Amino acid sequence: MKTYAVLGGGGSFGIHTALYLLEHANPKKVIGVGRNPLRPEPFSLNVDQHPKYHYYAYHLTYELDLLLEVLDREKPEVIINYAAQGEGAVSWKHSWRFFETNSMGLARLVEALMERPWLERFIQIGTSEMYGSVEHATKEDEPIKPTSPYAASKVAFDMYLMSVHRFLKFPMNIIRPSNAYCPGQLLHRVIPRAVVSGLSGKKLPLHGGGRAEKSYIHARDLGRAIHLVAENAPLGTVYNAGPPQPTSIRALVEKTADALEMKFEDLCEMTGDRLGQDSRYWLDSSAIKQAVGWEPQISLEEGLTEMVTWGRKYLGQLEKWPMDYVLRG
């Protein structure tokens, strides 16, 4: 029985990973660490009610000493890192903050972890955005072509991890997932925003008419990928994790409208494209399938139906929640 620590554990993906591990990994304990206290039930999904789960609110960049005290006390064999300054579309302004957390803050953490004998594996959750816009499914050795400061900051830490594994034997893996979604996701993301907009009679702004193509997986599928890598993957390996084919944002919103049982035209309105918008994210995930047997199991239609059920259950609270991204330290 192992103790798992999920950094960035207050976010929806960290919460779903914790829930997956609690259900499937037979853990001694799962620890969540985030910069804020857990959000209300529509976002936390009551993860803190599980007897083997404990949550700590510490900031990776500004409270590293306090975070290390927690980790030294709990001694997690596996650390999963989601902690990041996210949202590439807004990273053109105050871009130094993205490097402060995604590169510098995490490098300081890993340098400290090198001295901890209890750590068996550090799993970094990267991003498909580091490959930039692509014409074909990209493998892990594809040339790196970040097209935003956010993506560049994520690339920098991936390169750092590869070097400290190669020369200092730091026990790490990197998973680069496609765009994940799930109940509890904040409302500036397209799927939860579309669901709440549709249920509350508002219009979803569809940037660039939804021409851009991205690849979507449910956060439970990502949690399963993390568990399989933690249990079975050779140290030092990097894996993509995504569906076989990308989906245009327009098609995604059309499927969301279907799940909401409403017309596409009633759900959204066309707006201009975002700065630096990549035209297609598309991953070749054959390596993780060959290494640990992972491939996505939850179809987009099934996942969107689940999102609508979540939206209906908590609509009274979700309608009051902001739909715009707010940059913080």
Residue 90 pLDDT: 81
Residue 215 pLDDT: 92
DSSP letter for 49, please: G
Domain range list for the chain = 3-180+217-241, 186-214+245-280+300-318
Q: Which positions of the chain have pLDDT values less than 50? A: 276
Residue 122 CA to residue 110 CA, distance in Å, equals 9
239-258 pLDDT per residue, tens: 999 999 999 999 999 999 99
Q: Directed axis angle between helix 300-318 and helix 249-260, to 10°?
A: 70
Residue 324 pLDDT: 81
Dmax (CA) of the chain: 57
Q: What is 3-180+217-241's CATH number?
A: 3.40.50.720
In this structure, what token pair is assigned to residue 100? 């402060």
What pTM does this model have? 0.94
Residue 274 pLDDT: 55
Residue 172 CA to residue 157 CA, distance in Å, equals 12
Q: CA nearest 241: which of 261, 258, 221?
A: 221
Residue 206 pLDDT: 84
- Torsional class of 240: left (φ above 0), alpha (ψ -120 to 50), beta (otherwise): beta
Residue 229 CA to residue 238 CA, distance in Å, equals 10
Write the DSSP string, 117-142: TT--EEEEE--GGGG-S-SSPBPTTS
Residue 177 CA to residue 153 CA, distance in Å, equals 16
Q: What is 186-214+245-280+300-318's CATH number?
A: 3.90.25.10
Given this chain, do its domains 3-180+217-241 and 186-214+245-280+300-318 carry the same CATH topology?
A: no
- Average pLDDT of the chain is 93
Phi first, then psi: what are they for 324, rounded to 5°? -105, 150
Please state, in angstroms and as integers, the Cα–Cα distance from residue 297 to each residue in 101, 137, 215, 222, 303, following that order.
Answer: 32, 19, 14, 10, 10
Residue 207 pLDDT: 74
Q: CA nearest 87: which of 295, 324, 309, 315?
A: 324
- Residues 192/251, Cβ–Cβ less than 8 Å: no
